[in-house]
Every structure is written in structure tokens, then in C-alpha cells.
Structure 1
């Protein structure tokens, strides 16, 4: 009987927690890892600046840094209070057009750079894309199992922005032939695009 009373008391205490304590342990581990990735990305972006030659890539990197800094501050604010942040999640708008160049052009085989002086815009943009992909994955995993509804929403709403930034880098790489996109032969492409059919009739209840 005493154990049952203690359990009930424990449940009441957990329900009456202050908003800033309304986090699960698993959630905090995921948040810590995701936020650490944002910190790492921002610090890496600082290192990239001195190696960038193309002004368009420099502008993109600086816009990413500005946006990620605000995203970071919004998440930190929510993590500290458990409540709505002072600045809501923003919407990132990329400046690249959505046109993709298809096909392969001959290029020299790639190999790792052997000195810092060999790092160029192709290397830097590739690093940026890799970090955006990692952030989008980390934020998705965090949002899927977050218990605090406000913090979950911050991470969830940030995912489309991270995807947009990653896609912007991909488009930049594609236009500069750093990221080439091969296509299948016409017949093979049609076989794949026609390989699924819609469900007919009424949906099951």
C-alpha cells in the first residue's frame, strides 16, 4: 500500500513539474546531439570562409550562418523555458532556381586533398551539403520522439528549412558541374515511372 501511495505521489509530482522541467531523458540526449551538430556546422562555416573563392557561394554560406544562428537561439530559448520561444521558427528562402542540369560530362577522378591550399569551392560546397543532410536527419530523429510539444514543434518546423538549405547547395553544385545527375535511358525511365498504379475504388473504413 505504501509503494502504491509513493507511486501516486511520484506521478502527481511529475504532472506538477515546472514547464522547464517537462522533458524526457531520451529526448534531451537527442536534443543535445542535434544542437551539438548545429554548433559544429556554425563553427565549420567559419573555417570555410577563408577558402571560398566564388562570391555566390560566400553569400549562400553567410545566409545559412545567419539563419542557423537564429534557429539555434530559438531552440536554446525553448530548451531553457519549455515554453514558446521569444522568436518563432523562421522560414528559409533559397536564392537558387529549381532548374537541374541532367547528364554527365567527363571529369577528372576525385581524390582527397593533400593540403589545405587544395580546398576549393567544390570541396566547401560538398562539406556544406553533407552537414545540411546530417542536420536534417538529426532534427527528424529528435522531433519523432520529443515529449515537450513546444520543443518538438521547433525541431519539426526547422526540418523543411534544413532541407531547403541542403537543396540550395545541391543546385549550386549541379550548376557548377560539381554534382552531376545521370539519367536512365528513355525506355527504362518510363518503365520505372509506370511501375506503380493508383488504388481503385473506395478507401477502406
Structure 2
């Protein structure tokens, strides 16, 4: 019985006994491959969008985000290959849009799918950009939850807020141009939703760490 236990233990390779570049699990590699491929796809699509962007502001946002995503890509790929701290650590993306949201709906013409690339507007392109960023954020979150290599997990985890920030920047651009309109509930209904939860009674900070 003891001999069998010893044999079973030898079949496991613990993370501190594995070379860093091979310190990856199967699910981790599958998800990382999918996340990186999605990032590549979004960046390559930006190459197609660039020639159709009319608004200089949107073109500036797209170029700045592509530059940041390129460094993000290099950091992730280096970490995946080495399993160690990358030469350029995860940066923090700083958007240029403000945090002001325009509420309410304005009448607009019904939309239909474009019939040619010449019909692609800044509204279409900014929506494509946001869709890619939202998809990448979801893929990065799934990957971070499956990743066993601690450095690669941290790189994916720390990249998620940057993808969210970039998507939020696109949202702000769309909102101020009335591409992304935000309706509101009646004040009474809004208040009912806001007040639908109550705080827990008593001191709940005893088990929390500071």
C-alpha cells in the first residue's frame, strides 16, 4: 500500500520542480491560445478599419489603442514562452475621453446592414472596435481563471482592466456622438431599483484583512 502511494506521488510534477517555460496546464494553454488569437484578430481588423475612419478623434483613439495592444501582445507572448517575468511588465492604459454620459434618446433613422465597405461609418467602426475589446476582456478573464503559471496568470489578470478601459473609451466616444444612446428609467422606478437591497446588520469587518 505504501509502495503504491509512493509511485502515485512520483507521477505528479509539482510546480516548483518544473522548468518555468513548461509550467503550464493544458486548459491554460488552450485558453491562452484562444485569448491571444482573439487579440491578434482584433488588431488585424484595426488595420482594415483605419482606411475607413473619417473622424480624426476616432483615428487617434484607434492608433493609440493599437500601440498599447501591440505591447500587451508582446508581453503576453514573452511570458507564455518563458514562464517568467517579462522584460516589459503590464502597463496601465490611460484613456483621453471623460467620464460624462449623455442620457436620453434622440430620434434616429432605422439602421440596416451596410451593402458595401463605402457605407461603413465611424459609428460602425467604433462598434466593431468595442465588440473586439469586450470579447477580448471575456477571453482574458476565462484564461486568468484557468492559468496555473503564476506570472502568466498575473499578466492576463492585469490586462483585463486595460481592455475594459479601452472599451469604455470607445463607449464614451460613441455616447457623445449619439451612436450609443442611454435611456433611463422613470425616476420613481430608478429609485425603487436603487433601494431594492439593504446592507447587512452588525459588524462584518471582523473577518476582513486590511
TM-score (norm 2): 0.93
Take 2:139 and 2:85, find their aligned partners in 1: how far apart are those partners?
Answer: 22
- Matched with 1:180 is 181
- Matched with 1:23 is 24
User: Does residue 55 in structure 1 map to residue 51 in structure 2?
Assistant: no
Q: Match of 1:11, SS?
A: coil
- Matched with 1:116 is 117
With over 3 angstroms needed to count, the CA separation of the structure-2 counterparts of 1:105 and 1:17, relative to structure 1, is same
Q: Match of 1:38, SS?
A: helix
Q: Match of 2:78, SS?
A: helix
Q: Aligned residue pairs: how many?
A: 205
Q: How does 1:153-192 map to 2 (within 5 A)?
A: 153-192=154-193
User: Does residue 195 in structure 1 map to residue 196 in structure 2?
Assistant: yes
Deviations 1:33-63 (A, max 9, x none): 0000010011000000000000000000001
Per-residue deviation at 1:165?
Answer: 0.1
Take 1:164 and 1:80, find their aligned partners in 2: how far apart are those partners?
Answer: 27
Take 2:16 and 2:93, find their aligned partners in 1: how far apart are those partners?
Answer: 36
Per-residue deviation at 1:174?
Answer: 0.3
Q: How does 1:6-155 map to 2 (within 5 A)?
A: 6-12=7-13, 16-155=17-156
RMSD: 1.6
Take 2:112 and 2:14, find their aligned partners in 1: how far apart are those partners?
Answer: 58
Unpaired stretches in structure 1, ≥5 consecutive residues:
none
Take 2:188 and 2:17, find their aligned partners in 1: how far apart are those partners?
Answer: 63
Take 2:144 and 2:12, find their aligned partners in 1: how far apart are those partners?
Answer: 25
Q: Match of 2:11, SS?
A: helix
Take 1:12 and 1:49, find their aligned partners in 2: how far apart are those partners?
Answer: 48
Unpaired stretches in structure 2, ≥5 consecutive residues:
none
With over 3 angstroms needed to count, the CA separation of the structure-2 counterparts of 1:12 and 1:134, relative to structure 1, is closer
With over 3 angstroms needed to count, the CA separation of the structure-2 counterparts of 1:53 and 1:142, relative to structure 1, is same
